[in-house]
Structure 1
């Protein structure tokens, strides 16, 4: 599933007031962190993840790994905050068609 620009804008507006649900610290991206992200995505569909890494490249690699491992869509990444979306069976968020 690939998000259109209109859908991404809609999700960004919904995510604006959200706080990060999962925070990745010094241990990096572990199995436990991935399980927490999976649980949060299943419950909320749209979440923010805070990646505490010093270097920009390291943050980018961690964010890419999160998106790849969870099968979620990256909505945006600003600084150390990654916003991702994955629809669940409950379909809590309705996306615009185009």
Structure 2
């Protein structure tokens, strides 16, 4: 699903109270890390990822890695935090994506 402006705005509003679930540290990005992110995001649909100060990875590098190697969309970046969204593969977990589709 390609997100439009109003949909992104809705997701940003939903993410106000969410705390980062994953961090990117000095070990950087890997396929194993991305697989774990995909497991969690399939249950939640919307998560935040924080890039730690000690990491050599930039926000743009993290965004590119995530979008090129998965179907996860980066909705927003604020400082060193990325907001990620994907429609869950599990139908019983699709709460946010149903609301997004109606916008």
TM-score range, shorter chain: 0.7 to 0.9
Aligned equivalent of 2:6: 6
List 4+ stretches of structure 1 deviating above 3 A: 53-57
> What's the Cα RMSD here?
2.1
Aligned equivalent of 2:102: 97
Aligned length: 98
Of structures 1 and 2, the one scoring higher in RCO (CA 8 A, sep 6+) is 1
Gaps of 5+ in 2: none
Q: Relative to structure 1, is the Cα distance of residues 52 and 2 closer, same or farther in structure 2, using a 3 angstrom cutoff?
A: same
Alpha-carbon contact 1:10-1:95 (below 8 Å) kept? yes
Alpha-carbon contact 1:67-1:84 (below 8 Å) kept? no
Gaps of 5+ in 1: none
Deviates more, 1:84-93 or 1:17-26: 84-93
Name the TM-score, length of structure 1 as normaliser. Answer: 0.87
Q: Confirm whether residue 16 of structure 1 aligns to residue 19 of structure 2.
A: no
